[in-house]
Structure formats: structure tokens, C-alpha cells
Chains A and B, each alone.
Chain A
């Protein structure tokens, strides 16, 4: 217990000594640490930026469907190859997916060009006819109001969800939900109720509007049949290719004469994540080189300074400092200094990476949902700076510990 208390006191004292030394030589320390600060800031920014970009890209890509997303088309020979919607196909899909015990399934039908109007404001829109599972399958959630539910099919006023683009174009706000808007499609105008709005925005495609198949069938299908229809299901990645093959085979059995095709449609199936990994490697490599140069400059300054501090080491030894304590104190000076520099570097990185204006100007795209600064990048920055401090502290610490007291005092 006594030894433990003695060690704890020694540790606290070494930290205090290190801090005192840094305080006294703050200008020298500051200058020698600029390289480390810049290196840690760039390394952390590279890692955090890549991680955040990856997260943003993943979220964007997952809006096209979360892996593994299997898309199924059923083309009847009379439809000249265009996937058609019919009760027969829908039933076959429902029956087959139930047989495979697939929980998340949705129909996707689109019609382009309907006009949405609200209090004198008009906007062109793409109507997507989907089942409630479509939302979680595509990482689409209601930011205001709520997403579609099965019960909405029974509503006397057709329930719809709009995206952020349409929500803004129609001048809607959070307080106005649920809002009744007019939807003109195929010559008919129907009043529909906007029950929710998502945070997504369809880049350059105008606003999007979602409704249930039953709703579309009841109110719009007669005047504006859907342009193309497919069916999607969200399944575990493992075995998804085999499942798609088998699913298509069984669908064909259910739909004699139809051409059925099922395949993966999510971003992992076409390798979108590899580019980002390579970018992270390149930026990380450059940061590593900066860090190495910064460390060498730090080591150089530390070695020169230690030569000038030999007498001080001798004086401390005369107070009873052991070689171990001198070694630890000198190394702690380096560690504390680089930890402070690393902390500063991480703060600079956080300020850069979480600045929406800067990110938008660099990435040249409007990001509405800024992901949080990745904690692992901050921890990596701190860890690297402490490791650099320990590594660059070893040599001067060895020099200090090997000083002969008698010689040192006479210097």
C-alpha cells in the first residue's frame, strides 16, 4: 500500500514537473509542436472526413436500397417487355415472399409528372407507390409527421408522404401537417392529405411523393396507370444471390408465361464502397508522412534542448531523483506536450469537419444531415499524438537518465 502511494505520488509529481517544464519553455514547446499539431489535425481530419463522407455516402446509397435488396420484375409477353402491375403479379410476389418468410417487402410503382398544389403554389412531382416497409428498406423516415402505415389504406382522404423538396416547394411547414393538397394526375385532381415529410431530397428530380398501392389503385390508377412496377425485398446479405435465383424460379412457376427476373440492386452489389476506402488510404498515407516529419522535428528540438539541460538534470539528481524518475519525467514532458498538441489538432479537425459551410463548399453538395464527428477519429488523433510523444521522448529521456551526476553539476 505504501509502495503504491509512493508510486502514485511519483507519477503525479512527474506530471507536475512535465507541466512546469512546458509552462516555462512554452515558446520553444509551441514552436516545436506546430508540426505535430498540423499532422494530428490533418490525420484526424482525413480519418474523420473519410468516415463522415463514407457515412453520408452510405446513407445516400442506402436510399436506393439497403443491402441486400433484391428487386424482382415480372414482364408479361404482351407488355412489350415493360414490367406491368397486376393483381396476379402482386399476389404471386406476396405468396412467394411469404414462402421464403421474408419480412420486408414492397411494391414500387412510379408515375412521373403529376402536379401538386397547395395554397396557390404548384410543383411537379414523382409519385412513388410503395408499401409501408419501403421506408425502413430505403432508410427513409419521416422528419415531420409520420411515414405510411397499412391502416392508411382505409383513410377516406388519401394519405401521402412528401420529401423535403416538395415540402419546401409547396410552402408547407411542420405546424401545417397534416395538410390537404391537390394532386393532379392524368386529368383528375384529387385532394390528398400530407401526413408526413421526409428529410430526403431527390437531387435534380423534383419533389417526390409516396402513397400506398391501395390508395393509388382507388384514386388514380384508372386515369394514370403506373409507368413501371417492380417488387423489392430486404434480406440478409449472406446467401442473397442464391435467394434471388431461387425466388425468380418460384415466381416463374407462379406466373406461367411471364418473364421474371430477380437480382441484387443495392450499392454493395456494384462495389461503390471501394473508391472511398482507397481515398481514405491515400489521405491517411499523406497524413502519416506529415506526422513522421513533425515527429522528427520534435525529436531534433528535444535532443538539442536536452544537451542544454544537463546541469538541471544533475541538480535534480542531487535532490534525490532516481534515473528512472528522470527518464519518466523527461518522457512525460514529451507526452504531455504532444497530448496538448494532439488535443489542439483534434479540436481544429472537429472545427473543420463539422462546419457545414466548409463541407458543402468542398463536397459541392447540399448536405442537410451533418453526421456527428466520429469519436474513433478523435481517439485515433489523441492516441497517435501520445504515441509520438512517447516515441520522441525516449531518446532525450535516455540521454538525461545516463547523465553522470558529478559531471552534470559541474557543467
Chain B
């Protein structure tokens, strides 16, 4: 049985209008298919449009042209409300700077996405968040504030938060960018294992070839286009 298709980008372009009225073309025709269980890495230098691509994949931004299909349906027709619902339900984000909510404990941070859920997920948010933190090895740090956690621990909280609603796709934007090499590797292995366990697809945006090498599919983003890569784990 073939894996279900989750995201499909066809000839996606993205340009922005600059203050001098000229167009800056960031993406020039991206084609990408993401299916269940995929682990895709996209590498590229700074300013090549990696984050822009991730925003489009995460339904945070819309392409200038081309189509984004979400589970077989054109996502351009999705209302902002439905896009938000899909984002909350099926997409998880891991950011370079962790983006933990200040002033809230690790547990409250992981509970935060469940505040936008309904039914069992909302009412049992404390239990679900505790379990998610337990899975990333932070079961004993539930009440710790972000500033008392190390960088690796903060990113693990962010991973638990991204996975707590059991998303179909996890989008990681430079997840090891703020970590040292060994911590970064440990975090990536955890992220990979957690998504494999849950069956979610993982798309990692990185400029680190070693991180990208952990993925089963690799692409290089250059001149607004994706080029297949083949990297070996160092």
C-alpha cells in the first residue's frame, strides 16, 4: 500500500514587491511532493528562500503562482479560518530560536497548541502535554521555565509542542541552528525518531549538511529552485 500524499507543490513561485517597485523573485517554480513518513531536508545558503518555502508548506503564506495541494485539495481555496484549522490540526512547527512562550512553564508551552483544539484534546491537554514531554525525556522538567532549561532542552520542549497534536507534517526551520553540534545531532535524532513513531512527515530546512544527511530525501534550494542532493552522514 502506497503512503498517502500530504503536500504537493507544483510550479510554486513567490515574489515580493520591493520599496523601489521592483519585484524580488524568491521562489521560481518549486515542485515537491510530501507523503506520510517522509523525511525531507532542504539545504541552502542564507537568503535563498528556505524560510519562505517553509511558510508556504506550513500554510502560513501563499504562493504568488503555482499550486499547493493539501491532502489532494488545492490549498489556495482554503479560507484563512480553514487554513488555521488545518495548521493547528495537521502541522507542527519547530523553530530555530525555539519560540517558547515566555513566562510559561515547559508544560504550559506544550499545552498551548491544545488550547486551539476541541473535545478530548482540549479537556485533557495537561495529560497529553505531560505525555509529550515524557516522550522527549523531559518528564521531570514539567514546571521548569524556559530560561532555566538548556538550549537542547528548550528545543526538546519545542519538539514536544510540535508533536502534541499528532500532526501529519512537522516543519522544522533550522532546528539545530542555535545548538552546538552534539546537542544539535541529538535533537535531530530525537525529532526523526519521534516523527517516525507518529508516522508524520518531517521537513527540515537547514544550512547544515550533517543535519540534512539524516533525512532520507535531500534537496538544495538555489536560485529559487529545488535540486535533488545525495548526502552521506559524516
Q: Which residues of A contact B (CB under 8 A)?
A: 5-6, 9-10, 13, 16-17, 20, 24-25, 311-312, 315-325, 405-406, 409-410
The distance from the CB of A288 to the nearest CB of chain B, in whole angstroms, is: 35
B118 touches A9 (CB 8 A): yes
The distance from the CB of A360 to the nearest CB of chain B, in whole angstroms, is: 47
A321 touches B116 (CB 8 A): yes
Q: Which residues of B contact A (CB under 8 A)?
A: 51, 55, 58, 60-61, 80-81, 84-89, 93, 95, 99, 101-104, 108, 112-113, 115-116, 118-119, 122
Partner of A311, one of B99, B108, B115, B119: B99
B61 touches A406 (CB 8 A): yes
4 nearest CB pairs, A to B: A320-B88, A24-B103, A319-B113, A322-B84
For the complex, give the distance between the alpha carbons of A109 and B178 in Å: 97
Q: Chain B interface mostly helix, strand, loop or mixed? A: helix
A319 touches B119 (CB 8 A): no
Are A5 and B118 also in contact (CB < 8 A) when A24-B103, A24-B104 are?
yes
The distance from the CB of A30 to the nearest CB of chain B, in whole angstroms, is: 15
Partner of A320, one of B51, B104, B116, B119: B116
Are A320 and B87 also in contact (CB < 8 A) when A16-B115, A406-B61, A409-B95 are?
yes
Which single residue of chain B is at the shortest CB-CB distance from A312?
B101
The distance from the CB of B98 to the nearest CB of chain A, in whole angstroms, is: 10
Residues of chain A within 8 A of B119, CB atoms compared: 5, 9
B81 touches A324 (CB 8 A): yes
For the complex, give the distance between the alpha carbons of A324 and B88 in Å: 15
For the complex, give the distance between the alpha carbons of A202 and B112 in Å: 67
For the complex, give the distance between the alpha carbons of A120 and B104 in Å: 76
Which single residue of chain B is at the shortest CB-CB distance from A410?
B51
B118 touches A320 (CB 8 A): no
With A317-B87, A320-B113 known, 16 other A-B pairs at CB within 8 A are A9-B122, A13-B115, A20-B104, A25-B103, A311-B99, A317-B84, A318-B87, A319-B112, A320-B85, A321-B84, A322-B81, A322-B85, A323-B84, A325-B84, A405-B60, A409-B60
The distance from the CB of B196 to the nearest CB of chain A, in whole angstroms, is: 23
Are A406 and B80 also in contact (CB < 8 A) when A315-B101, A320-B89 are?
no
List 19 contacting pairs A-B, 8 Å CB cutoff, sorted by A.
Answer: A5-B119, A9-B119, A17-B115, A20-B104, A25-B103, A312-B101, A316-B112, A317-B60, A317-B84, A318-B93, A319-B115, A320-B113, A321-B84, A322-B81, A322-B84, A322-B85, A323-B80, A323-B84, A405-B60
For the complex, give the distance between the alpha carbons of A3 and B93 in Å: 27
For the complex, give the distance between the alpha carbons of A311 and B102 in Å: 10
Are A318 and B60 also in contact (CB < 8 A) when A324-B81, A406-B55 are?
yes
B80 touches A318 (CB 8 A): no
The distance from the CB of A143 to the nearest CB of chain B, in whole angstroms, is: 56
Which single residue of chain B is at the shortest CB-CB distance from A408?
B60
For the complex, give the distance between the alpha carbons of A20 and B112 in Å: 11
Residues of chain A within 8 A of B51, CB atoms compared: 410
